[in-house]
Structure 1
């Protein structure tokens, strides 16, 4: 039987365009989270700034986050623009930084700067299979279906959204349609792209659509849930 997997969804304070400051914040969140996997919002390393410089995964400024993941035994899934250019989810652990997923469904002004990724992706963590998504992906039923077809246990997303009702509806729909857990790390507070405020309320939902853990609306919060094989998920203490 698989060991339990503790996952946190975080909505850190983010400083637009300041990679070093945001890395330091992400590292502090990882160290404090007490989780095997820590998920961050869309473009969390730069803010939702569509003109931000792309992030090179070999940039030494990412070092403190790698070190934090090594110390905590954690995998961090963080948002960043990367060469392509793509809106991406980076996987950061003790071994370094890799591009785990590139956003498939672009929206609004994103289409003028970025190109879509090649398709759905799932990663394996300690025997659990996590399907990856970024923001608008979560609103495209075909993306959830194609990702679920990869045999996932959980659909994991980083988003920048200002409507909490939209976040809740999408998470519930994906969970109940495909019988998977859903974890959404949502921006909180203001950021770029015309967002004077964002929704926060980062959430973990079980396969029946029940909210297991949910943060508030303010930046700086994170919540955890522990997935247990054969017995669903429960909020972590």
Structure 2
């Protein structure tokens, strides 16, 4: 995988928000209103980008998603634009705050594909599909089709790779974002209770692997077996949490990403520049 020999560091800080919250299964309109409220909390504290959890709009509840696809999906047109009146409160909140929002949704595409996606609501209130999850987990494969490409969100001069939950468990996914020059990695997620160790390890590792910030949003609450564990976080480029939510309860974590810290980390830890063109390559079998 080719990597840039040098990636310009942004000129100014970028304030971001990672959200943990509990949506209601099947209630896209109600969850969009909740998302709008959370976005307003974030933008009031200066957030230019707010990241909400995976499948937040319909809620991550596979039985409901299987039983009512028409009611839980949003439709995208051929240009990946989403025009759904249920999202109007969220559009208004993004427009009022002049900020970008990344929020999880189930999307129906014109060719019939159904994807777990990250919608992007921009500062003008327009909604489009930003990224389709590439690594589907477990029962998701029975309901959804995997995406076939990555995506990078551009905010000011910050480059922010997009991933969704299980994507972040694969080092190659975060590295692909870094190869595209990402300064950060935005991960709407849905981690179930009992996965706290992995939740806290994967995204810190992706940050350090690639010397980039990671913004991890997560679902919280619900009832077993669909009970989620919060722990939303923003990690610095060495994988240290700058903010972390509790395992229960709603939270909006607002953090300023600092170009100076990004530059200093990349100067001290040069994995992106030192990576071999064929890491690992051919291997020799050694007798014991």
Name the TM tier (shorter chain).
over 0.9
Aligned pairs (5 A) from 1:97-108: 97-108=127-138
Q: Does structure 1 retain, via aligned residues, the 8 Å contact 2:73–2:107?
A: yes
State the SS of the aligned residue for 1:231: helix
Comparing 4-13 with 39-48, which one deviates more in the overlay?
4-13
Aligned counterpart, 1:66: 91
Aligned residues: 231
Aligned counterpart, 1:88: 117
Aligned counterpart, 2:144: 114
Structure 1: runs of 5 or more not aligned = none
Select 1:167's aligned residue among 199, 202, 207: 199
Aligned counterpart, 1:32: 41
Structure 2: runs of 5 or more not aligned = 1-9, 76-81, 264-288
Larger Cα Rg: Structure 1 or Structure 2? 2
Q: CA deviation at 1:232?
A: 4.4
Deviation track 1:134-172 (CA, whole Å, cap 9, x = no partner) reads 011011112112122111000110111121211111012
Q: Does structure 2 retain, via aligned residues, the 8 Å contact 1:13–1:25?
A: no
Structure 1-normalised TM-score? Answer: 0.93
* Structure-2 separation of matches of 1:81 and 1:183: 21
Q: Which has the higher helix share?
A: 2
Q: Which runs of 4+ in 1 moved over 4 A?
A: none
Q: CA deviation at 1:175?
A: 1.0
Q: Does structure 2 retain, via aligned residues, the 8 Å contact 1:39–1:158?
A: yes
Deviation track 1:120-143 (CA, whole Å, cap 9, x = no partner) reads 211101110000000110111121
Q: CA deviation at 1:49?
A: 2.5
Distance 1:140 1:191, change over 3 A: farther
Q: Does structure 2 retain, via aligned residues, the 8 Å contact 1:175–1:205?
A: yes
* Structure-1 separation of matches of 2:13 and 2:117: 27
Select 1:224's aligned residue among 243, 246, 254: 254
Q: CA deviation at 1:12?
A: 2.0
Say whether residues 1:181 and 2:201 are aligned partners: no
Comparing 16-25 with 1-10, which one deviates more in the overlay?
1-10
* Structure-2 separation of matches of 1:96 and 1:219: 30
Deviation track 1:52-109 (CA, whole Å, cap 9, x = no partner) reads 4311321111111111011111111000000120000000122410000000000111
* Structure-1 separation of matches of 2:119 and 2:61: 17
